[in-house]
């Protein structure tokens, strides 16, 4: 039986959520542990996670390799794999790539929405592609087994990362722009390049990435996945819900604004509603994961393809990506 894996969450972590993960049968989650934090602040976030692992060893543990997915299934727990949504955690020091990998970081975005030292974010007017440091950091991430994630990056930067990386990369949480034209969703050109090189796309359930926002139906979401499977192949697709369960609206300000501006940057969505948008009624948290399985089967996916989409493909990608290059 294939595992259930969510390719991206940034929840307000608590025992309640950990228990909902178990209720939803979630075997592994790529959990964002840092947005705009520097290295020391990222270490403090890892320390906070260590307390979660210490207090709830019957529910969660830190994942380091794909074998931990099997361990999670065998012990009825959820493996937590760390990721960063910005390269601020390595500051301007390429040596911190290996240090953070040793501490358990397994995904790192080369940008959030803005220009970084490595590449261009999707909200910039001009995308200049990978920087000199960006090319060096991608090579180092390839060497140690830290996945290049381009979920928030611009088109040219993403295509250059795919081309420069010697390992398949990931877009952990986004949808096809042809289905819904959000800045964060990805063009057919990007998705063909991504999947054509063995990369992974995690479909996002964050309302700003959905057609009709929180009113998007389960059938519409699964139809989108079916069209993508026909176009790109089912083997490169999974779920990356971008679930921000139980987060206060104030967290949106940190996500969008960080330290780069004195003004509130509303980013995705309307300036009249800067908080989190309402989630679809079929996915309010980890306990609703089974709804996705049902929706995929109802839309016509086979049992095996549904299992691949719900986690089997991510499990293979983890297995191929987290080890050091030989």
Give the angle 270-271-275 at the CA atoms, nearest 5°.
Answer: 80
- 263 pLDDT higher than 90: no
Q: Which domain holds residue 149?
A: 5-321
Residue 13: what pLDDT? Answer: 97
Tokens of 209: 């990435």
Mean residue pLDDT of the chain comes to 95
> Reduced to 3 states, what is the DSSP secondary structure of residue 103?
coil
130-175 pLDDT per residue, tens: 999 999 999 999 999 999 999 999 999 999 999 999 999 999 999 9
**Position 126 in a domain:** yes
- CA 201, CA 185: separation in Å to the nearest integer? 11
4-20 pLDDT per residue, tens: 999 999 999 999 999 99
**Position 296 in a domain:** yes
CB-based contact 255:37 (threshold 8 Å):
no
191-203 pLDDT per residue, tens: 999 999 999 999 9
Residue 264: what pLDDT? Answer: 77
**Position 326 in a domain:** no
Instruction: Classify burial at 50, counting beta carbons within 10 Å of its beta carbon; exposed 0-12, middle 13-18, buried 19 or more.
Output: exposed
Residue 273: what pLDDT? Answer: 55
CB-based contact 286:23 (threshold 8 Å):
yes
Residue 254: what pLDDT? Answer: 87
Residue 278: what pLDDT? Answer: 92
Backbone angles phi, psi at 44, to 5 degrees: -65, -35
Averaged pLDDT, 304-322: 98
Backbone angles phi, psi at 116, to 5 degrees: -120, -175
Q: How many CA atoms lie within 13 A of 116 on its CB side?
A: 31
Tell whether the torsion through CA atoms of 250, 89, 139 and 115 is positive or negative: positive
Name the pTM for this structure.
0.96
Q: How many CB atoms are located within 10 Å of the residue 200 CB? A: 25
**Position 278 in a domain:** yes
**Position 91 in a domain:** yes
CATH code of the domain in which 124 resides: 3.20.20.140
Beta-carbon contacts of 137 under 8 Å, excluding residues fewer than 6 positions away, are 87, 90, 94, 97, 110, 118
Averaged pLDDT, 165-187: 97
Percent of the chain with pLDDT over 90: 90
Residue 275: what pLDDT? Answer: 82
Averaged pLDDT, 303-310: 98
Q: Please give the tally of structural domains in the chain.
A: 1
Averaged pLDDT, 101-129: 97
CB-based contact 128:116 (threshold 8 Å):
no
Residue 326: what pLDDT? Answer: 66
- 268 pLDDT higher than 70: no
């Amino acid at each position: 039986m294939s595992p259930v894996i969510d390719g991206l969450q940034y929840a307000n972590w608590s025992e309640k959520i950990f228990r909902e993960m178990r209720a939803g049968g979630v075997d592994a989650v790529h959990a964002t542990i840092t947005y705009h934090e520097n290295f020391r602040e990222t270490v403090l976030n890892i320390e906070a996670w260590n307390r979660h692992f210490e207090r709830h060893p019957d529910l969660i543990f830190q994942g380091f390799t794909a074998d931990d997915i099997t361990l999670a299934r065998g012990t009825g727990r959820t493996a937590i794999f760390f990721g960063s949504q910005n390269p601020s955690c390595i500051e301007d020091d390429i040596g911190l790539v290996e240090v953070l990998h040793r501490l358990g970081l397994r995904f790192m975005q080369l940008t959030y929405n803005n220009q970084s030292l490595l590449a261009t974010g999707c909200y910039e007017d001009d995308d200049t592609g990978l920087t000199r440091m960006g090319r060096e950091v991608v090579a180092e991430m390839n060497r140690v087994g830290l996945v290049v994630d381009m979920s928030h990056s611009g088109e040219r930067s993403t295509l250059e990362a795919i081309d420069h990386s010697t390992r398949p990369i990931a877009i952990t949480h986004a949808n096809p722009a042809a289905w819904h034209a959000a800045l964060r969703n990805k063009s057919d050109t990007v998705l063909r390049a991504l999947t054509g090189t063995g990369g992974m796309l995690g479909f996002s359930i964050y309302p700003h990435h959905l057609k009709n926002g929180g009113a998007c139906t389960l059938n519409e979401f699964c139809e989108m996945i079916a069209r993508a499977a026909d176009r790109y192949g089912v083997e490169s697709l999974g779920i990356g819900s971008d679930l921000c369960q139980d987060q206060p609206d104030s967290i949106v300000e940190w996500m969008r604004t960080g330290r780069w501006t004195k003004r509130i940057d509303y980013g995705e969505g309307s300036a009249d509603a800067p908080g989190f948008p309402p989630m679809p009624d079929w996915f309010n948290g980890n306990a609703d994961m089974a709804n996705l399985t049902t929706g995929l089967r109802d839309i016509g996916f086979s049992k095996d393809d549904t299992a691949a989409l719900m986690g089997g493909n991510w499990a293979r990608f983890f297995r191929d990506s987290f080890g050091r290059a030989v």
